[in-house]
Amino acid sequence: MIKAVKGTRDLLPPATVAWNRVEAVARAVFRAYNYHEIRTPILEETQLFARGVGADTDIVTKEMYTFVDRDETSLTLRPENTASVIRAYIEHRLDQRPGVQKLYYIGPMFRRERPQKGRYRQFFQIGAEALGSESPAVDAEVIELVVELLSRAGLSGFQLLINSVGDANCRPQYVERLRQELKSVAHAMCGDCQRRADTNPLRVLDCKVEADQPIIDKLPHITDCLCDPCRAHFDTVKNYLADRGIAYEVRPRLVRGLDYYMRTTFEVVHGSLGAQNSVLGGGRYDGLAESLGSKVHSPGIGFSIGEDRLVMSVEDAQAAEPLDLVIAPLGEPALRHAAVLARDLRRGGLSVELAEGKLKRAMELANKLGARFTLILGEEEMAAGRYALKDMASGEQRQVTREELAARFGGN
């Protein structure tokens, strides 16, 4: 038997109900904040991620699904979507439009990671990018949007973590200081940290190996090394969050896994997810568009939500949507009549299941599907112009005309 590829999975009902609900909430929140959907290809030229994400990142060096096409072009299944959005933003000259361009996406990403709870090789992200402004007010609004989206989706008890990773003026000095500090201690750390200590010292701060944490705790904080403009930007973001009543914790060790981030970075964690407790991450990337070929200075900030993890956190608390009605036709003439009736009720917004066969089986099906009502329809009911409508919760049964039926469910 052929099974799903390792690290991928089939999303089946009733779980897909929670997925659809989360995505509907996300679209409603994005609409409220004037974000518009963008859909990029799942395949991009490999160079896009090497240049945009960073050649020395774990994503590029270890995790990408890359292959050579028949024309010898190196292609990669997108491991993240910010670089793709920026590529489309430049290619289609969105950087020539006035004002902040607000774009969102929902879709699959691909990384060859070790599968575990909440982590898959094909995974889904809900994300957004606000392009064209350096203002800390935009940072605060993006974080506000994140909090609103998670709250409306049904997630509670989550924690917002923020930090600043500086900019091209102050971060190189901090990175060099970090590199020097690591020279004397890297040999006692995990293999990844030993490699990163020279190639990408910031990533050492994101190490999850328990034995490395006492060493990492003694390393200098980037917040102590910020230049005056970066410090002022970060202070203003914090003030705007305070104005909105949004609780946060400053985590000096918080760095993003991608090279393009600068200044504001943030993450939301939730206790229900165990070791992989991050629900989303995001931050500012003011030089990314230029590094990918934009002739226009296009500062930006964005985030991506791990949809798999978000759904996992909220689906148990969300009841499945009940089926409105099961119609139980008794005999062929009743079945033909019921099919037209079901169509009309569905057009009116009801969820309807047509159950052929014996009445007992129809009632069993209605119970299994959690239907609110069952409508019994036979030759006698057709002749009298009245149907038997049974309330599945109370067991009460009453006769209704077609007009009464439409009126009863007309508000659904």
For residues 342 and 358, what is the distance between their CA atoms, to the nearest angstrom? 18
Which of 29-43, 189-203, 273-287 is predicted with the least confidence, judged by mean pLDDT?
273-287
Between 55 and 107, name the one with better pLDDT.
Answer: 107
**Structure tokens, 98:** 């006035």
Q: How far is CA 93 from CA 128, 252, 270, 284, in A?
A: 18, 37, 38, 21
For residues 91-95, give the mean pLDDT: 90
137, 122 contact by CB (below 8 A): no
Residue with tokens 């993450």: 267
Model confidence band, residue 411 (pLDDT cutoffs 50, 70, 90): very low
What letter represents residue 240's amino acid? Y
Over 70: is that where the pLDDT of 258 sits? no
For residue 306, the number of C-alpha atoms closer than 13 Å in the C-beta half-sphere is 24
For residues 168-187, give the mean pLDDT: 85
Mean of all residue pLDDT scores within the chain:
87
Spatial CA neighbour of 287 closest among 54, 72, 77: 54
**Structure tokens, 403:** 């007009």
Over 60: is that where the pLDDT of 59 sits? yes
pLDDT at res. 247 = 95
Spatial CA neighbour of 19 closest among 276, 351, 370, 315: 315
pLDDT above 70: percentage of residues in the chain: 94
User: Domain spans of the chain?
Assistant: 15-170+226-317, 325-409
Spatial CA neighbour of 202 closest among 180, 174, 223: 174
Over 90: is that where the pLDDT of 202 sits? no
Q: In what order do the strands lie in the sheet with 66-68?
A: 43-45, 74-77, 66-68
Helices (H) and strands (E) in the chain, counts: 15, 16
Over 90: is that where the pLDDT of 368 sits? no
DSSP state of 4: P
CATH 3.30.70.1400 fits 325-409, yes or no: no
Strands (DSSP E) contained in 247-332 are: 249-250, 262-269, 278-284, 300-306, 325-329
For residues 143 and 160, what is the distance between their CA atoms, to the nearest angstrom? 9
Residue with tokens 């599968």: 115
pLDDT at res. 203 = 81
Q: Where are the alpha helices (DSSP H) in 168-263?
A: 171-183, 191-199, 213-217, 228-243
Record the pTM: 0.82
pLDDT at res. 286 = 87
Over 50: is that where the pLDDT of 52 sits? yes
**How many CB atoms sit inside 10 A of residue 262's CB?**
23
Model confidence band, residue 1 (pLDDT cutoffs 50, 70, 90): very high
CATH topology of domain 15-170+226-317: BirA Bifunctional Protein; domain 2 (3.30.930)
pLDDT at res. 242 = 95
Model confidence band, residue 189 (pLDDT cutoffs 50, 70, 90): confident
50, 118 contact by CB (below 8 A): no
DSSP state of 135: -
pLDDT in tens, 300-334: 999 999 999 899 888 765 656 778 889 988 888 88
Over 60: is that where the pLDDT of 46 sits? yes
Spatial CA neighbour of 6 closest among 151, 77, 89, 110: 110
For residues 152-156, give the mean pLDDT: 90
pLDDT at res. 345 = 87
391, 399 contact by CB (below 8 A): no
Q: How far is CA 316 from CA 183, 205, 324, in A?
A: 47, 34, 22
For residue 21, the number of C-alpha atoms closer than 13 Å in the C-beta half-sphere is 22
pLDDT in tens, 206-215: 787 888 888 8
pLDDT at res. 42 = 95
Over 50: is that where the pLDDT of 412 sits? no
Over 80: is that where the pLDDT of 281 sits? yes
